[in-house]
Amino acid sequence: MIVESNNDNDISSQSINNADYVNHPPHYQTKNGLEVIDIIEACTEDLKGVEATDTGNIIKYACRWKKKNGIEDLKKLIWYANHLINHLQKEEVKKDEN
């Protein structure tokens, strides 16, 4: 895929293994074509708010770390997991107080 651009450094102006970095980025796909967004939708369909957001981000970073940002993505995964744990613990305290 080649997209015209006036900027030679713009990734959209380059043909990189015919990958569609907007609609189907390779770092969000498995070898058999399963896309991370589909996994996230399936795993978060019954969640709302922080629970859905954090769970989605945990899945995203777990799936892409090896293909994209390595340790940085694993640290982000941990950050979102800790954020979710803290949120759930606060919710438990609120329930216990009532």
- pTM of the full structure: 0.73
Cα–Cα distance between 73 and 2 in angstroms, integer?
Answer: 29
End-to-end CA distance of the chain: 58
pLDDT in tens, the chain (98 residues): 344 444 444 444 444 456 787 877 777 787 887 899 999 999 999 999 999 999 999 999 999 999 999 999 999 999 999 999 999 999 999 888 87
